[in-house]
Amino acid sequence: MINFEDELKKFKPSLEIEDAEDIIYKQDLDDMSDVIVKLLKEASQEADTAKRGK
């Protein structure tokens, strides 16, 4: 039978997982609202450019 207390004492987290966590948390990722704002700004700039070209 498995003794969970002994198994927990032996547990050591994988270094690869800890490295991945650090990399993920340190990244400055855009969320959906940032992406939408950027797309709207680009569309507005393109519309302004198109109006000036006419």
Per-residue pLDDT of the chain (54 residues; tens, 9 = 90+): 899 999 999 988 777 877 888 888 877 777 888 899 999 999 999 999 888 876
pTM check: above 0.75: no
Tell me what pLDDT residue 18 has.
Answer: 75
Within a domain: residue 7?
Answer: no
Within a domain: residue 47?
Answer: yes
Residue 46 CA, distance from chain mean position: 28
Residue 54 CA, distance from chain mean position: 41
Could you tell me the residue range of the domain that residue 25 belongs to? 13-53
Tell me what pLDDT residue 39 has.
Answer: 94
Domain total for the chain? 1
CA-based radius of gyration for the chain: 25
Within a domain: residue 8?
Answer: no
* Angle of CA points 28, 33, 50, to nearest 5°: 110
Question: 11 by DSSP, 3-state: which?
Answer: coil
